[in-house]
Structure 1
Amino acid sequence: MISSVLPTYSRAPLSFVSGQGSWLIEADGRRFLDLGAGIAVNALGHAHPALVEALTVQAGTLWHTSNLYQIPQQQALADKLVDNSFADTVFFTNSGTESCELAVKMARKYFYDKGQPERVEIITFSGSFHGRSSAGIAAAGSEKMTTGFGPLLPGFVHLDFGDHEALQAAITEKTAGILVEPVQGEGGIRPLPDACLKGLRDLCDEHGILMMLDEVQCGVGRTGKLFAHEWAGVGADIMMVAKGIGGGFPLGAVLATEEAASGMTAGTHGSTYGGNPLGCAVGNAVIDIVADPAFLAEVNRKAGLLRQKLEGLIASHPDVFEEVRGSGLMLGIKCKAVNADVVKAGYDAEVITVPAADNVIRLLPALNISDDEIAEAVTRLDRAATSLGA
């Protein structure tokens, strides 16, 4: 008999009932150090007082009115994002998947309105993940994502990650844009080198196509900049954001330049819940904290500390681990042992990690994790690795 919850997840036998900062408390009372943060969602950990206050105050005032009316909290958050990014305008969604849908529509509508309706193709890369909607799985194109869900939405060109010659050859009179994650998350924590991101920007400018960034997982302070592409010193035309922007409350956004968004006029897109007062109240509180240069400097310092300790961990367990990679507090450990076994051993050691492709475990802690918690996390990972080695 099927479960009342559709069984599309292979869930761990854990039931968390509360959380505080970087800690999760299981129903049986065990305390787990959380290095997953809800898959890079809980940017400020669990029950952060500023987020609790923002949500509580807003919940007691006004929950929802719809986008038929002005929403002051939405306007305030849009202004903050524009002030802190390349963008001129923002559309709010509920998730990264919805952000992907709009990004695709925006790129195609831009060229339609420019009198180039044939420009519908979007170039994407192996190992990518852009959500699980029809557009998202078609964009990623992997067999694992698409099998059984055809016919797929057409208009995506899939290239091998890092194949520069193929990229040059793939751009035609049908190309609308290039969609890329500055750091692949589900694909195994694979950062795109700064030089490559700069090269993509130059290529888009040369051919008059749109640079589309997916920063759903790597954005909002995760790499030590507010947005990961800032390390390369380039701007985008369209960018997808979600996860950390709501700190745990469902919230996403598409940021765009005025030019790239020029086709999205009244009636071309909408969202019932996107940008409602509850979500934007929390989003404002998140951005107020994370966009602070002093906060981002601390993220970078803690990232260096964690990476240093992880290098020592890998050296101590060469039979279990191979290398550490990533950027900021978006780190991955490539494993020699089966990564699912490492994650499970972590559960036994009461530390949460997240599996990814390429036999990697992801470490995506709260951006405000403490130095002591970093030390304790590595101690618990050491315990997990020791149990596997034994």
Structure 2
Amino acid sequence: MKRLLIAAGGGGDAITAAMVHAALYGPDTPALVLTYAWERLVVDPVPGPRGAADFTGVLTPVPGLHLVTPQAAPKAPAGSLLPRLAAHLRPALGLLDPYGGTLGLARQIETAARWCGADRIDLVDVGGDIVARGDEPTLRSPLGDALALAACAATGIPTTVYVAGPGLDNEVPLPVLMPRLGEPALTLAPEDTDGVLAVFDWHPSEAGAVLVAAARGVRGVCGTRDAPRPLVLDDSARQVHRLTCAEALRLNPLAGALDRCSGLEAAEEASYEVCGFSEIARERRRAATAPAVPRPPAEPGTLLARFGRWERSRLAEGLDYVTTRRITEELALTPLEADGLYRSLRAEAPPRRVPPLWRLADVRGT
């Protein structure tokens, strides 16, 4: 028997699901995490999610269930970090393919539950957009979460929804979010992060990184990319809230609108109706404007000077810490530049790296 967990939005939610699993059942309890291959354009330049046909090397232990292993690989030009995650996370990883809509996802989840011998599901979201109403002005990526929630409900299998690190995805403002969540059910401890900490040396998830930092006792103000406000790392940032599937459905109109959805295009239409936008359409627009030819890397001295100017501006904003992704994207670093800059920062004393975040220059301690 394996525990069955669903990562509501993919990416950072898969990492968070591994942490929640460790906190609930112990890290060595057998488990399967089903997750989307729906990753940021910095990882996958092709807009939208990837399906099973977009990978080589996945395992199919039973029809309808696709396991991602370290030997799997995305087919070019697509990209995916799931095979690398599969090599690092203790739970096994399975692929959620949303192209069949809610009904297709429900069939995949039912198949996984039978294969695992699981009589219930844990649906895990980092941040809280799984209980978004759809009209929040800061909402960016509600569709994957809503599809996962609607699909779990469609299976009829008892499902518990866990929201970890409320507000850490900067999608639903905390004053709006907290009344929807109620009291915390558990608090992540440092040991719950042991199995995922090293992942953030290469994985770009910001909400997951900030959750890990909070669980490990880092306190202060952290800046993430493209966010309306910085995040405060306090005890509430490492808490996990528990809802029933019915409670989450009542809070999420988009999930309700996806009840009998049979395809991803129909799901997009529902997102337009409820939220006024489609995140897949946004990805298409961003992909169309991405630079086609990378520029030559900057010299190390020039790069450090540019980082220094950027850092002073972030200190003026009142930040104590920043994520790797914010540094990389705001400085528009190439992979070679990023590798060189982070090696230089790691060599500084006192240490700049406060795993998995970066400490700005005049902060002392963690």
TM-score, length-normalised on structure 1? 0.29
Larger radius of gyration: 1
Q: Which has the higher helix share?
A: 2
TM-score (norm 2): 0.30
**Greater relative contact order (Cα < 8 A, sep 6+):** 1
